[in-house]
Amino acid sequence: MRTSSIYEIRIAGQLDEATIIAFTGLEVAFRGQVTVITGEFDQAALHGLLERIRSLGLDLVEARRVRVSPRAHPGDVTGSS
């Protein structure tokens, strides 16, 4: 069984306050004209989040695993380049 991992999801544009509410409990940050949502998900939760993004009509730019949790060692980074 795989453990949960931390993912960084990038969405085009800056989400408004009403849309951000759909991501309560997750870290939401803005980097230029991109909204970055970060959280810990297992595969089922990740697919659910991606479906929520699709159902809201948001433009998904990137989804990547940034590190494995909870057994990760400081400095470990896993993801696509």
Q: How far apart are CA 55 and CA 19, in angstroms?
A: 12
Looking at residue 21, its pLDDT comes to 95
Looking at residue 46, its pLDDT comes to 95
Topology classification of domain 5-63: Alpha-Beta Plaits (3.30.70)
Looking at residue 81, its pLDDT comes to 36
Q: Name the pTM for this structure.
A: 0.78
- One digit per residue, pLDDT tens: the chain, 81 residues? 567 899 999 999 999 999 999 999 999 999 999 999 999 999 999 999 999 999 999 999 999 999 765 554 444 444 433
In the numeric block, the tokens 């991992």 are attached to 5
Angle (CA) 34 39 43, round 5°:
110
Cβ-count burial of 69 within 10 angstroms (0-12 exposed, 13-18 middle, 19+ buried)? middle
Q: How far apart are CA 7 and CA 16, in angstroms?
A: 21
